[in-house]
Amino acid sequence: MSLILPKRTLSRRRLLQVSGLSGVGFLLGGCGTNLFSDNLRQISEPLNQSLEALLLTQKPIPEFPVSAIEADKLLVNTFDFTPQIDPAQFRLIIDGEVNNAMQLSMADIQKLPLTSMVIRHVCVEGWAAIVQWGGVRLRDLVALVQPKSSVRYVYFKSADGYYESWDLASAIHPQTLIAYQKNGQPLSVDNGAPMRLASPIKLGYKQSKWVTQITFVSNLLPTKKGYWEDQGYEWFAGL
């Protein structure tokens, strides 16, 4: 799948100064592939989110060397329920408005190209950690299932009942992973094994753990945008 990113015309800082707005995100104007034969419709979010979207289409986020990994700084949020998933029985369901719905085992997923990146994970609570994630680029899964041209959003369902939604452009960013490794080792259960989201362009609460289902849709459910978003958190949550 070949994606064409627009050329950078204004620095992030300068564009924020001109606009008087802040925040991040990005908007995909169109894809030069058969998979998306029609341009994706412009995301009909408030003006600030449209500007955020424009900012982050411009180029990938700079990554860190392996020597910068902060192994002890990635905190684990504690909840009452941590799902225990048998990797041998695990199936990642990919469905919704797609041409080729799939159920992939861990063996299927690990046959796909492995992408590794060292990025900063930023939590809305105010802490951050530089982490190496390894897994499959979400855009590679998109290429397999072939979403319909009307698709604009992606839902992620987790084994613990957590749920999230992303704009499609963020989901197919080259640094958005479905990760099964952390710092070169298999992902641990408390970090979301067998699979979790990882990306340098979203706050931590958007990066669902224990992902079991990915669903492509044309429209968001107005009362079910995300676990924390439905309690008042920002939906876009870009960096």
Over residues 107-139, the pLDDT tens digits come to 999 999 999 999 999 999 889 999 999 999 999
Phi and psi dihedrals of 6, rounded to 5?
-65, 150
CATH architecture of 61-231: Alpha-Beta Complex (3.90)
Q: For the chain, which residues make up each domain, given as ranges?
A: 61-231
92-114 confidence digits (pLDDT tens): 999 999 999 999 999 999 999 99
Confidence (pTM):
0.77
The SS3 assignment for 83 reads: coil
User: What average pLDDT score do residues 213-234 get?
Assistant: 95
Q: Which of 162, 189, 192 is nearest to 177 (CA)?
A: 192
